[in-house]
Amino acid sequence: MTLYLGFDSSTQGVSAIVLGVEGDRAHVVFQSSLQFDDALPRYGTRHGVLPGDDPSVAVSSPLLWADALDLMLRSIGASGVDLRGLAAIAGSAQQHGSVYLNASARSVLAAMDPARPPGEQLARSLSRPVAPIWMDSSTSVECAELAAAVGGNLALAARTGSRAFERFTGPQIRKFFKREPDAYAATDRIHLVSSFLATLLAGAHAPIDPGDGSGTNLMDLSRGDWWPRAVEAAAPALANKLPAIAPSWTIAGTLSPYWQARHGLPAAHVAVWSGDNPCSLIGAGLVREGLAAISLGTSDTIFGLMREPRVDQTGTGHVFGAPTGGFMGLTCFSNGSLARERVRDMFGLDWAGFSRALAAAQPGNDGGLLLPWFVPEITPSVAAPGIRRSGLEPDDGPANVRGVVEAQMLSMALHSRWMQVAFDTIHATGGASANREILQVTADVFGAEVRQLAVENSACLGAALRARHAHALAEGRPLDWDTIVRGVVEPLPGALRPDRRRHAMYQDLMRAYAEFEARALGVIKN
């Protein structure tokens, strides 16, 4: 059996999935996760973040990520999976985070002692002991500076796929250069979390893929390469410090002698790593345009493949490179489960009661609408939260339950229009995707078939599938993406089909919702 290993180094922990392929059949033979705080308490993280005084700052430790990978490899070995058949490894990582290495990294990586864990050996190669991560929001000034230097946020979004965002790597690098110019000058290479971990496995500097490169505000989306104007605006001499950008299926190298000796592993291919969102695209089976995924979790997200790099003119959506080539659109909503829970609790319901209440109200709520902004919203941008109702009684349980679900689906459909993709099929993931009443509203609003996906960690699975894809290509036996996902990413039986009449009704309601939203945002004056 040929094995492919996918890692996912996320905010709070690391996961691994081993895919076994025999003939043309592929299946998961190993799956496990560990939490950074529990597995490596000596780093002192809380939920994967180092404690600090400033709530806008979020940093973690690259050495922790390295040691966690090591622990995970040990636990795969201990599980009895025979890794001698390992052909390739790829990975997924939290996006935007950055790792700062000095010039010693090359020699240190090449001469690591297999008797010792990686973290302590790498420590002297860091020019910055901590890595800012995606939860950091301390760079508003640098965002404004970067946007101004390239002709404004619309110009930045048109070229890189996103307006300037605090968590994106370009503004983060700029802040580091401004605050710690000496440490910046001593930095030889700036990696993303993804390319840092690929570098560690290959024992030599690995490239960044376009999926994660597009999370920096520095990459020219359509060329899949750095945009010199943004790179120059971010910090001096930055072009010399950034790794190359290479297609997602590039083989960065083979597993270094360190890992081979330490865990008894073969000289497997190391494919370039990518961000967790691009990897999820593959792990959710979105390998053609027209398929979208909706993830209903703490926050709700909609994403899908786009052949062309269309950009959200309102500045809330993102375009990332897709691991299949092409692009992916992604829009995130902060009032996801949280908003559903607030309405559930308002009426003293459990989830079964929530479903019954949803079914008890008429689809469309007789034109009644609700804006579900219990906390500040990302899409559309709402800084001062507060729910609003139109034509809905505040004490009518079923109408409010339906109101929040319809608002979320109408908002998702409205704010993903910029992708200009007619979604015919939606794969639903995340906690609330178990609720078929909610998914029926999704199907009716989008006019698309909705299928529940049972995959637990689509980013990690996507990484394992990417390892197989990259390896097949490198061996001169390329496999198309349909073949890669077939039999591994299969939705559960029982798709929810849209009702034509209700879909037409929701098309009208969406216009009313858009107007209600615009009024609340002050875009249309009352």
Which residues of the shown chain bind ligand XUL in the complex (CB under 6 A)?
10-11, 94-96, 134, 167, 215, 275-277
Q: CB of residue 94 vs ligand XUL: minimum separation in angstroms?
A: 3
Going by C-alpha positions, the residue among 133, 429, 88 that lies closest to residue 281 is: 429
Nearer to ligand XUL, 333 or 506 (CB): 333
Measured from the CB atom, is 94 or 408 closer to ligand XUL? 94
Helix or strand holding residue 461 (H, E): helix 458-474
Based on CB atoms, which residue is closest to ligand XUL, 167 or 502? 167
Phi, then psi, of 7 in degrees rounded to 5: -105, 155
Q: Could you give the C-alpha distances from 113 to 78, 149, 258, in angstroms and in order?
A: 21, 45, 7
* Nearest CA among 13, 131, 25 for reference residue 490: 25
Question: From the CB of 129, what's the least distance to ligand XUL, in Å?
Answer: 21
Residue carrying structure tokens 């995924």: 293
Complex with ligand XUL: residue 332 or 484, whichever CB lies closer: 332
How far is CA 386 from each of CA 90, 335, 395, rounded to the nearest angstrom? 43, 11, 17
Report CA 93 to chain centroid distance, whole Å. 8
Alpha helices in 240-385 (DSSP H): 257-263, 276-283, 337-346, 351-360
Closer of 256 and 458 to ligand XUL (Cβ): 458
Environment class of 470 (CB within 10 Å of its CB; exposed 0-12, middle 13-18, buried 19+): buried
Cα 382 from chain centre = 22
State which residue, 275 or 321, has the beta carbon closest to ligand XUL.
275
E strands in 65-105: 86-93, 98-101
Helix, strand, coil: what percent of the chain each, to 5?
40, 20, 40
Q: How far is the CB of 470 from ligand XUL (least distance, A)?
A: 21
DSSP state, 124?
A: G
Q: How far is the CB of 333 from ligand XUL (least distance, A)?
A: 13
Instruction: Indicate the residue type of 226.
Output: W
Residue with smaller CB distance to ligand XUL, 93 or 443: 93
Nearer to ligand XUL, 276 or 289 (CB): 276
Residue with Cβ nearer ligand XUL (96 or 340): 96
Q: How far is the CB of 524 from ligand XUL (least distance, A)?
A: 30
Helices (H), 79-152: 105-110, 118-122, 140-149
Q: How far is the CB of 318 from ligand XUL (least distance, A)?
A: 6
For 298, how many CA atoms within 13 A lie in the half-sphere containing its CB?
1
Phi, psi of 139 (to 5 degrees): -120, 35
Closest separation in Å from C-beta 193 to ligand XUL? 9
How many Cα neighbours within 13 Å face the side chain of 363? 23
DSSP assigned state of 279: H
- Joined together, the tokens standing for residue 327 give 């692009």
- Min CB(338)–ligand XUL separation in Å: 16
215 or 285: CB nearest ligand XUL = 215
**42: exposed, middle or buried (Cβ count in 10 Å: 0-12, 13-18, 19+):** exposed
In the complex with ligand XUL, the residue whose CB is nearer, 94 or 433, is 94
DSSP 377-410: BTTTTBSS---EEES--TT-HHHHHHHHHHHHHH
CB of residue 199 vs ligand XUL: minimum separation in angstroms? Answer: 19
Cα separation of 131 and 128, whole Å? 7
Q: Quote the CA–CA distance of 365 and 396 in Å, as a whole number.
A: 11
Nearer to ligand XUL, 132 or 363 (CB): 132
